Amino acid sequence: MNTAASDKPHINRDHLLPMLADMIRIRRFEEKCAELYTQEKIRGFLHLYIGEEAVAVGIARGLAPEDAVIATYREHGHALARGISMASVMAEMYGKVTGCSRGRGGSMHLFDEKHRFFGGNAIVAGGLPMAVGLALADKMRGLARVTTCFFGEGAVAEGEFHESMNLAALWQLPVLFVCENNLYAMGTALEISESEQHIYLKARSYGIDAHAVDGMNVVDVEAAARTACSAIREGQGPKFLECKTYRFRGHSMFDTQLYRDKEEIERWQKHGPIVLLQEWMQANHMLLENDVAAIEHRVAAEVAEAVDFAESSALESETELDTDVYTPRRSQ
């Protein structure tokens, strides 16, 4: 980790250990989901967040309960970092009625109004205009809230990206745009798809304060998120963070990953977010001998309980299948 302890506030064991635990928690949840998918207990599409945990955990530290979050279809990590229970997320993966979307959304459409988590979105860049709308509503109501929108670098090729940047800057909306740049939009390398590969510069072209941050370094992500959110709450308009990260698994469970070498993946894994923080804490005498083992034990129990909850939960009753699908015409 490049950041010295004296350079950042709150850099101590009590602050860092929960972030390490949160990243491990996301990692083990995702690994279990991959296992359950191969057993066909989780069906449909599944996009894993393994390798990108520092972004969700770091950004979450800058948010308040009243803030809103919009994510992509790779949103399990964001949901867990936001505080949605692992049991309700796992139940949603199973399509059970106890899931956070009552089993109707599945992996790509997690939703929790209580936590102001307004979904994964299956459409690339689809969350961007929604974030603009939520932020506009907050501004019109005079609320000092932040809408955080996560999206991948592939979204910058979509028209919604440019329209959203323009309106957010034009109307000075309280939005934090977080681009999770994992270098491959599905299976196309950034270097062969974008003439300008520094994504944050695209946001700057619209007059938005934008910066790049090491998305593998949870401390740097957290610091950037706190700074950005503080400025947004003070009425300084939208902010943009390009978090340079890397997914260790394929785009989805169907991805054969023929577009990248195994050696490349292994290089990134050696500097993954969990490894990076754990090694830095050890080097700075902030990690006790049994800390990681205790975290792993606690997380393993939570994952097991989430699976048991999902498997013991019921599917939605057939009598409820048309509920919330449409609004019946009112009698005159």
- Band (pLDDT 50/70/90 cuts) for residue 11 is confident
pLDDT at 7: 40
pLDDT at 322: 82
Average pLDDT, the chain: 94
The pLDDT tens digits for 128-177 are: 999 999 999 999 999 999 999 999 999 999 999 999 999 999 999 999 99
pLDDT at 331: 57
pTM: 0.93
The pLDDT tens digits for 97-113 are: 999 999 999 999 999 99
* Domains, the chain: 5-320 (3.40.50.970)
For residue 12, pLDDT beyond 70: yes
For residue 22, pLDDT beyond 50: yes
* % pLDDT > 90, the chain: 89
Q: What is the CB neighbour count within 10 angstroms for residue 179?
A: 28
For residue 121, pLDDT beyond 50: yes
Nearest to 176 by CA among 49, 62, 53, 26: 62
CA angle (58, 60, 64) in 5-degree steps: 140
For residue 2, pLDDT beyond 90: no
CA dist 165 and 149 (Å) reads: 12
Angle formed by the axes of helices 127-140 and 159-170, nearest 10°: 10
Rounded to whole angstroms, what are the CA distances from 258 to 26, 51, 73, 262, 294? 26, 19, 22, 9, 38
Query: Taking residues 26-47, what's their average pLDDT?
Result: 96
Paired tokens of 329 = 């015409």
Q: Where are the alpha helices (DSSP H) in the chain?
A: 13-38, 53-60, 76-82, 86-94, 127-140, 159-170, 199-204, 218-233, 262-269, 273-283, 291-312
pLDDT at 325: 80
The pLDDT tens digits for 309-330 are: 999 999 998 888 888 887 665 5
Paired tokens of 158 = 């979509």
CA dist 248 and 34 (Å) reads: 13
